[in-house]
Amino acid sequence: MTKVTKRWVSAFAVGTTIGTAGAVPAFADNPDDTLAVVASATPETIESAASVPTTATGENAIDATVAGATVTVPVDASNGITLGSEGGTVSIGLPFADQAADAEVQKPGVVSFDNRNGSSTVPVVQSDGSVQINTIIEGADAPTSYSYDYDCSGGVTLRRLADGGIVAVDGAGELVASIALPWAKDARGKDVATRYVINGTTLTQIVEHGVGSAYPIVADPTTLGSNGFYTKIVQNSSSQGTIISVYPAQIKWNAYSGDTIYANYKAIVPAAYEGNKWRDQLVCHAANVGIWKTPWNLDSWRPDVGYARTVLAACNPQ
């Protein structure tokens, strides 16, 4: 696999952050209900929506660059979402797109599609450059399966990693997108059983709602383009050995599996800095430190003691 070199440096480099802003358009007649339902499940989803121009006319409701990622969300659901980054552009087909109504603007960065079957699709462009495609399930008669078709130039393969994480790779084996772990919550804030099923290039989220569920239910597969996890990774040296300094992007780290976090790291660094001890130090920092400490320093002299002992050693096993 070819490494992405733009974010790998062997000396200090200065990173930049790209943001966007836009004028506020006229909204749909009753956006508050949709926003309130999504916010009741995950308040941060609406709070962290990107402030980008959003419209219900023309070809695209949203066409913007956010945190280095280019994102388009269509007015006609059948045209699908596109998400572009350094690693390439991936398109995502939406559930029930052939029967859904056109996009309605909820607020900047947020639109909704009425699927006309007791469910709605609510894409939210996040300030970290990801797209959170919420499904609102309105009642027991709504479907339990919601399918997303992935594609990119040269083809795409969806890979399930050992810990359940899912990434999309192109025909050359390059990582083009990462998919957050599945979740669903009912109106009482109770978790609803959910899982992903992969069938070729289609990712289906199964939401096991019914008896005992309080409606509406919100479910969501979030997709982040490749190389959106790290702003840069720097190789340094000390008297003890090599230090790999990882600078994390401001993403929702707890939404992704450890193997997904590691897969994005491997897409950047030379093979000499891959392996269990590197993975365990990296994931330990992601799970326990997050963006509150930068950089995450991964040290070549740390022994491979397993993930649990790495955590007990505050990510620095002796």
Cis preceding linkage at 31, omega within 30: no
Tell me if residue 30 falls in helix, strand or coil: coil
Where b means 16+ CB within 10 Å and e means fewer, 82-110 reads bbbbbbbbbbbbbbbbeebeebbbbbbbb
Residue type, 24: V
Average pLDDT over residues 279-291: 93
Contact 103, 112 (CB under 8 A): yes
pLDDT score for 293: 87
pLDDT score for 10: 40
Query: Up-side HSE of residue 116: CA atoms within 13 Å toward CB?
Result: 9
pLDDT-derived band at 134, boundaries 50, 70, 90: very high
pLDDT beyond 70 at 198: yes
pLDDT score for 8: 56
What does the pLDDT look like over 146-189, one tens digit per residue? 999 999 988 999 999 999 999 999 999 999 999 999 999 999 99
Q: What backbone phi and psi angles, to 5 degrees, belong to 281?
A: -65, -45
Average pLDDT over residues 129-142: 97
Tokens representing residue 161 in the block:
């990693």
Full strand arrangement of the beta sheet holding 194-199: 60-66, 69-74, 81-85, 88-93, 145-152, 202-207, 194-199
Contact 194, 204 (CB under 8 A): no
User: Where do the structural domains in the chain lie, given as residue ranges?
Assistant: 17-225, 230-312
Residue 286 CA to residue 20 CA, distance in Å, equals 26
Tokens representing residue 226 in the block:
């490749």
pLDDT score for 21: 28
Contact 252, 179 (CB under 8 A): no
Residue 293 CA to residue 15 CA, distance in Å, equals 16
